[in-house]
Amino acid sequence: MSATEQASRTSRLLLSMAAVAVAFAAADTYVVVLALPDMMTGVGVPIDQLQRAAPIVSGFLLGYVAMLPLIGRIADLRGRVPVLVMALLLFAVGSLITTLAYDMPSIVAGRFLQGVGGGGLVPATLALVADLYPVGRRGIPLGIVSAVQEIGSVLGPLFGAAVLAVSDWRAIFAINLAVGLVLAAAIHTLAPAEVSGTPASRRRRPDPVGLLLLLATFAGGLVVFLRPSGLMRDLTWGRLFIPFAGDGRWLTPIGASTVVALALLLAWCWFAPRPLLDLQGWARVLVEADLVGALLLAAALGGVILAFATADPKVEVFSPRGRWYLLGAALASAAFAWHVRRAANPLVPRGALRRTPAWGALLVSFFIGAALIAALIDIPLFARTTVYPDDQLPAALVLVRFLLALPVGAVAGGYLIRFLSPGVVTAIGMLLAAAGFVLMTRWGLTTVEEPIVNLALITGGLGFGLALAPVNAALLAHTDDDVHGVATAFVVVSRMVGMLIGISALTTIGLRRYYAEQRAVPPVQDVCDGRSKCKEFSDLLRVAGIAQEHAVFWGAAGCAVVAAVLALVVFRGVRADRVSTRQVISTH
């Protein structure tokens, strides 16, 4: 095998592993859907207090979205592979903490770290593809990455269901831990020197002291989390678990020893000449990437996320404290804008998104996210309401046809951008998505079982797939090369925020329709003549549920049309011949 063929094979393997990493991270956003009740029980939260479990979901979203711009900027400064490997390690550490979690703070901390690591994989993978493939061969691999992110989001609940069928919820995150570590090691090993940014001659030597401190920290933490019953009952070893004060696990001899070991590990990694982890180097990169600006932006995004992610969509668009969250987000946004104007090297370099197609891509991505979330959540809900009321797995499988069409559309969109304006391709895609939603508003009690359902699912999937490439093509065509990482990160942020706000608003609209339809349903005693179970009454309630989903689909169609119109306006003047191949296809 020639050197060129070997390099090509290595590049394909590296991209495959990066794509798998992105898919796992995207799947983790929704992997807790089925496992949430068991996770609540596992950390001591009563099952009838579901509202207390909201941080398990919002913690991941907060880490995924809030830290994404900072990680995207670091990818521009530090390099693609180092950020990719570090993101996978953070994802693995978060998975480990979640696996061993014993209370709500520990499980939320684990999910937050998973979100930070998972979010960092997206911009690093995009830039990595551009680094690995020559200009004329980037279209297909970037199109694959485009589809993988969306597919992973939907496969999350299916992955959770498959694991729960044979094990408990902790096995889900144990698998994530193993996958994260294996992918981090493989990517680090396979990455060419010119991509990784670390020449072979400068690869770090083993750090025995650092490894020893790491093992001590890991072993101590494992004992603190698991609290083995054999050790706790032992007259001698049991003293390690007696708190100095209160009843906290970390206020015990074994807990304090673990904290000391962690402090020594951090100190060693800071001062040692060749440490296991170059903390000083990463600290310099954080400062260079504008950590202060990143924290201000994270506070702004965090306020928006918490306002909508902690709400009960049955009664409200955002939570009772949402006004305060949004006020905090507004103040943080103002502080961030002031900081960007005054900082020497801001997180978002001044003028980076000044061109209309650049900031317009963020706006279009927002409405795409608001429409897409309706497909990901409400299509399975419709199936549960009508045909599969007692089985979530086949209801989720209804989305398979949508998923099969999405990557086809992604590749087609990357091809069409070579001949048509990105605005035209985006508009075509979102109008197809809107048409798919309009067809869904015609679904009835048995439509999910009929072949006609495929028309709406395939049309919608193709439409969303077509819109993936041109949005990012327009963005990257009108931003400088040295800000592509942070610019791409903002596209992801826009889509995620659109999904959060979209699902809250659309669900609220749908529920208002449901309650209106429900008021027209006669009392159960009038319909069922006093019987405890009545098929006619159940069908009337299902009709009300269908009306709710139809309202959501109409709202999603409206969001898709808005995205199409915006694309034609903000991408006006972006011509296909001005878009380089690197800018042809990328995930959002």
pLDDT for residue 110: 92
Confidence of residue 579 (pLDDT cuts 50, 70, 90): very low
Confidence of residue 539 (pLDDT cuts 50, 70, 90): low
Confidence of residue 354 (pLDDT cuts 50, 70, 90): confident
Using the structure block, give the residue that is written with the tokens 């007696």.
242
Q: Which helix (H) or strand (E) holds 99?
A: helix 80-100
Confidence of residue 322 (pLDDT cuts 50, 70, 90): confident
When the pLDDT of each residue in the chain is averaged and rounded to a whole number, the result is: 80
Considering only residues 321 and 571, tell me which one the structure prediction assigns the higher pLDDT: 571
The 10 Å Cβ neighbour count of residue 580 is 14
Q: Which residues does 341 contact at the CB level (< 8 Å), separation at least 6?
A: 350
DSSP code of residue 576: G
User: CA–CA separation, 152 vs 399, rounded Å?
Assistant: 12
User: CA–CA separation, 148 vs 118, rounded Å?
Assistant: 13
Share of the chain above pLDDT 70, in %: 81
Considering only residues 580 and 204, tell me which one the structure prediction assigns the higher pLDDT: 204
Lowest mean pLDDT among 88-97, 297-306, 525-534: 525-534
- Residue 272: is its pLDDT beyond 80? yes
- Residue 326: is its pLDDT beyond 70? yes
> Hey, is 312 helix, strand or coil?
coil
The 10 Å Cβ neighbour count of residue 326 is 17
- Residue 585: is its pLDDT beyond 50? no
User: CA–CA separation, 378 vs 270, rounded Å?
Assistant: 49
Considering only residues 466 and 386, tell me which one the structure prediction assigns the higher pLDDT: 466
pLDDT for residue 331: 94
Lowest mean pLDDT among 370-374, 427-431, 440-444, 522-526: 522-526
Token pair belonging to 29: 């956003």
> Hey, is 95 helix, strand or coil?
helix
- What mean pLDDT is predicted for residues 121-134? 71
Confidence of residue 94 (pLDDT cuts 50, 70, 90): very high
User: CA–CA separation, 209 vs 221, rounded Å?
Assistant: 18
- Residue 156: is its pLDDT beyond 90? no
Q: Do the Cβ atoms of 111 and 84 come closer than 8 Å?
A: no
Write the DSSP assignment of 376-426 as a string of letters: HHHHHHHHHHHT-TT-HHHHHHTTHHHHHHHHHHHHHHHHHTTTS-HHHHH
User: CA–CA separation, 52 vs 132, rounded Å?
Assistant: 45
Four-CA torsion 399, 405, 407, 408, nearest 10 degrees: 170
- What mean pLDDT is predicted for residues 112-120? 88
- Residue 588: is its pLDDT beyond 50? no
- Residue 46: is its pLDDT beyond 80? no
Write the DSSP assignment of 430-441 as a string of letters: HHHHHHHHHHHT
User: CA–CA separation, 421 vs 569, rounded Å?
Assistant: 12
pLDDT for residue 570: 92
Q: Which residues does 47 contact at the CB level (< 8 Å), separation at least 6?
A: 37, 40, 41
Q: What are 511-520's contacts with CB under 8 Å, separation 24+? A: 511/313, 511/314, 511/548, 512/551, 513/547, 513/548, 513/550, 513/551, 514/544, 514/545, 514/547, 514/548, 514/551, 516/547, 517/543, 517/544, 517/547, 517/548, 518/544
Using the structure block, give the residue that is written with the tokens 């010119």.
194
CB contact burial 222-257 (16+ within 10 A = b; e otherwise): ebbbeeeeeeeeeeeeeebbeeeeeeebeebebbbb
Confidence of residue 134 (pLDDT cuts 50, 70, 90): low
pLDDT digits (tens, 9 = 90+) for 289-319: 888 988 998 888 888 877 776 665 555 556 6
Share of the chain above pLDDT 90, in %: 22
Confidence of residue 58 (pLDDT cuts 50, 70, 90): confident
pLDDT for residue 311: 62
Considering only residues 348 and 219, tell me which one the structure prediction assigns the higher pLDDT: 219
User: CA–CA separation, 181 vs 170, rounded Å?
Assistant: 17
Give CA 399 to chain center in angstroms.
18
Q: At what angle do helices 3-28 and 139-164 cross, to 10 degrees?
A: 50
Lowest mean pLDDT among 151-155, 246-250, 520-524: 520-524
Short-list 561, 566, 546, 144, CA closest to 371: 561
pLDDT digits (tens, 9 = 90+) for 416-449: 887 888 899 999 999 999 999 999 999 988 888 8
State the Rg of the chain over Cα.
25
Q: Do the Cβ atoms of 435 and 545 come closer than 8 Å?
A: no
pLDDT digits (tens, 9 = 90+) for 161-182: 788 888 888 898 999 999 899 9
